[in-house]
Amino acid sequence: MRPATLPVVAALLLGAGSATAAESFRFPSIDGGEIDLAAFRGRPVLVVNTASQCGFTPQYDGLQALQDSYGPRGLVVLAVPSDDFNQELADETAVKDFCEVNFGLTLPMTEITHVKGAEAHPFYRWMDAEHDFSPSWK
């Protein structure tokens, strides 16, 4: 993957010791249920906001390759589809089908989630407040 095609991401190392603020976040899973970041304690987590109709959509190949290569050593790649940049499909079923058919994704994925602004998921609001990180279109 060339650096120009990398998505805007948030990377975390969830502590092996005491609980961190990042571990308190949960996302609704595209497969139903929820993804609890606390379940990844002690592991590096790459949180990536994605969009199925973006020019960077081929990033899914690289993200899956990262998960396949480094997942056995602890890495978790979490895809967070968002329509905040007007480039996501209409619903979760369409996103899930698109990603499975076109990219063979098996990595964990959230439901379509706001990543910026007042409606941003609490994780992204925390990233902005604590780490001055907010996804943007660059």
Q: pLDDT tens digits, residue range 63-87?
A: 999 999 999 999 999 999 988 787 8
Q: Is the pLDDT confidence value at 11 over 70?
A: no
Query: What percent of the chain has a predicted confidence (pLDDT) above 90?
Result: 30
pLDDT at 17: 46
Catalytic residues: 54
Predicted confidence (pLDDT) per residue in 14-31, tens digit: 544 444 666 688 999 999
How far out from the chain centre does Cα 107 lie? 10
Question: pLDDT grade, residue 10 (50/70/90)?
Answer: low
pLDDT at 7: 43
- Which string of DSSP letters, residue by residue, matches the chain? --GGGPPPEEEEE--SSS--GGGG-EEEBTTSSEEEGGGGTTSEEEEEEE-TTSTTTTHHHHHHHHHHHHGGGT-EEEEEE--TTS-S-SSHHHHHHHHHHHH---S-BBSS---SSTT--HHHHHHHHHH-------
Q: Show me where the domains of the chain are located.
A: 3-131
Would you state the CATH architecture of domain 3-131? 3-Layer(aba) Sandwich (3.40)
